[in-house]
Structure 1
Amino acid sequence: MSDMLRAPAEIKYAEELDWLESVDDGPKPFSWRLSPKMVRLFILGSERADGLDREISPKWFGDRSFVERSIVTLASDRGLLLIGDPGTGKSWLAELLAAAISRNSTLVVQGTAGTTEDHIKYSWNVSMVIAKGQSRASMIPSPIMTAMEGGVIGRFEELTRSTSDVQDALISILSEKYVSIPELDTDNIVFAKPGFSIIATANSRDRGVNDLSSALKRRFNFVRIPVVTNKKSEAEIVRFRTEELLRRHDIELELPPTLLDVLLQSFADLRAAASSASSDDERLESALSTAEQIGVLEDAILHSNFFGASALTAEALAGSLVGSLARRSPEDLAILNKYWHGVVEPRSREHGGEWDGFLSGGRKAIETLS
């Protein structure tokens, strides 16, 4: 893991997965490495009622029903589509599901405008084709085809970012469960083995980019992941990710709980302002997701560690927030300036404490960028 900038979930939590597999006596669908109950437990963490000899830490924070519905879908013959706003943890949940079920979360196709049918089916090794002709040996299977042959989970990120031709190619894979290779005379069909399924993700803000056809929608079970608005849950997510960052960088830096409260309250205020705005010019371009909160906090921590004191300050947090959210000039800067004058300043006069430093740090950052 020390040689990887970011280890996939099946490597990062390998010891935990090995232990769960060793004590798992529940029924397992197809080629699953863990039973559905153990998959849920791996993702959401253990409770005292589970009766395990060790604690399993939670890795995804959200409603239990979303995880259970996702697991049940993957145990059927339908694909799973996780849909929601940016930063709601769709990709992380997909990775955890694939790691727990197949011990391989890396069979991924990234949907973009440049994604082609070859990326989800197969392509050819040109030099081998020239030397020996077309054969299974000269074929390069896509991650999806590799998942089919292994009876494991394949992933498709940002499905609505890919073109309709690519989306249509998924229909036969999800319904017929095989891929034809017309270039070959023999051994020209790859059949999916039991256990194969696809987890796709889609950004709800991309609606209208490349809408899914009704035929493709019918082959997916939809699980909509909402934005986390519960402060307690959001605090757990932000703290969990921040502690991972501190361990990865071997940073010893104090994270005052009062500063975390300031960050959570600021995002809640900005979301409320965005929901009441009458036009896009009055809304920040940022989705104000939990993932963006984590990014703001990580930026402030790294800045404080390399260029500041031994503790995170409200000034550094405010500067990071303004720098991260002010993407459009002058629109976003005007929105943030209004928030600092209309909300942060009165709150500083009323409560003082960390809000005083947050006020001055934000003002300085806005002035610098203006």
Structure 2
Amino acid sequence: MSDMLRAPAEVKYAEELDWLESVDDGPKPFSWRLSPKMVRLFILGSERADGLDREIAPKWFGDRSFVERSIVTLASDRGLLLIGDPGTGKSWLAELLSAAISRNSTLVVQGTAGTTEDHIKYSWNVSMVIAKGQSRASMIPSPIMTAMETGVIGRFEELTRSTSDVQDALISILSEKYVSIPELDDDNIVFAKPGFSIIATANSRDRGVNDLSSALKRRFNFVRIPVVTNKKSEAEIVRFRTEELLRRHNIELEVPPTLLDVLLQSFADLRAAAASAGSDDERLESALSTAEQIGVLEDAILHSNFFGARALTSETLASSLVGSLARRSPEDLAILNKYWHGVIEPRSREQSGEWDGFLSGGRKAIATLS
């Protein structure tokens, strides 16, 4: 792991997955490495009622029903589509599901406008084709085809960003569970082995980019992942991710609970303002997701560690928040300036404490960017 900038979940939690597999006596669908109950436990963490000899920490924070429905879908012959706003943890949940079920979360196709049918089926090694002709040996299988051949989970990120041709090719894979190779005379069909399925993600804000056809929608079970608005759950997610960052960078820096409260309250205020806004010009371009909160806090921590007094302050946190959320000028800066004058300034007078530094740091950052 020390040689990887970011280890996939099956590597990062390999010891935990090995242990769960060794004590798992539940029924396993197809070629699954863990039973559905253990998959859920790996993702959501253990409870005392589970009766395990060790504690399993939660890795995804959200409603249990979302995880259970996702697992049940993958145990069927339908694909799973995780849909929601940016930063709601769709990709992380897909990675955890793949790691627990298949011990391989790296068979991923990234959907873009440039994604072609070859990316989900196969392509050819041109030099081998010239030398020896087309054969299975000269074929380069896509991550999805590799998942089919090995009976594991394949992943498709940002499905709605891919073109209709790519989406149509996916319909046949999900329906027929095989891929034909017309260029070959023999051995020209790749059949999916039991255990194969696809987890796709889609950004609900991308609606209208490349809408899914009704035929493709029928091949997926939809699980909608909402933005986390519960402060306790959000605090757990932010704390979990921040601790990972500190360990990865070997940083010994404490995040005071009062500053975490300031961050959570600020995002809650900005979300409420966005919900009541009359037009897009009155809303920040940011989705104000939990992931963006984590990004703001990470930026503040790294700035404090490398350029500050190795102590996180409310001024640094405010500067990081303004710098991260002010994406449009002057629209976003005007919204943040209004928030600082209308909400942060009165709160600083009433509550003082960390809000004083937060007020000062935000004002300076807005003035610098204006």
TM-score range, shorter chain: over 0.9
Q: Deviations over 1:277-329 (max 9, x none)?
A: 01111000000000000000000000000011121000000000000000000
Note if contact 1:296-1:321 (Cα within 8 Å) is conserved in structure 2. yes
Q: Distance in 1 between matches of 2:175 and 2:92?
A: 26
Q: Measure how far apart 1:134 and its partner are.
A: 0.2
Percent identity between matched residues is 95
The reply to whether residue 235 of structure 1 matches residue 232 of structure 2 is no
Q: Distance in 2 between matches of 1:324 and 1:293?
A: 9
Q: Distance in 2 between matches of 1:38 and 1:134?
A: 43
Note if contact 1:283-1:335 (Cα within 8 Å) is conserved in structure 2. yes
The match for 1:209 is 209
Alignment of 1:3-152 (within 5 A): 3-152=3-152
Q: Distance in 2 between matches of 1:5 and 1:336?
A: 34
Note if contact 1:82-1:223 (Cα within 8 Å) is conserved in structure 2. yes
Q: Distance in 1 between matches of 2:47 and 2:312?
A: 33
Ranges of 4+ aligned residues in structure 1 off by more than 6 Å: none
Q: Deviations over 1:165-194 (max 9, x none)?
A: 000000000000000000000000000000
The match for 1:366 is 366
Q: Measure how far apart 1:242 and its partner are.
A: 0.2
Note if contact 1:254-1:310 (Cα within 8 Å) is conserved in structure 2. no
Q: Distance in 2 between matches of 1:93 and 1:254?
A: 28
Q: Deviations over 1:35-82 (max 9, x none)?
A: 000000000000000000000000000000000000000000000000
Structure 2 unaligned residues grouped into runs of 5+: none
Q: Normalising by structure 2, what TM-score?
A: 1.00
Note if contact 1:285-1:327 (Cα within 8 Å) is conserved in structure 2. yes
Q: Measure how far apart 1:254 and its partner are.
A: 1.3
Q: Distance in 1 between matches of 2:107 and 2:57?
A: 25
Note if contact 1:122-1:141 (Cα within 8 Å) is conserved in structure 2. yes
Q: Measure how far apart 1:227 and its partner are.
A: 0.2
Q: Distance in 2 between matches of 1:97 and 1:250?
A: 28
Q: Measure how far apart 1:356 and its partner are.
A: 0.1
Q: Distance in 1 between matches of 2:255 and 2:170?
A: 46
Alignment of 1:319-334 (within 5 A): 319-334=319-334
Q: Normalising by structure 1, what TM-score?
A: 1.00
Q: Distance in 2 between matches of 1:296 and 1:238?
A: 10
Q: Distance in 1 between matches of 2:160 and 2:255?
A: 38
Q: Distance in 1 between matches of 2:78 and 2:259?
A: 44
Structure 1 unaligned residues grouped into runs of 5+: none
Q: How many residues align?
A: 370
Q: Distance in 2 between matches of 1:275 and 1:121?
A: 42
Q: Distance in 2 between matches of 1:152 and 1:277?
A: 45
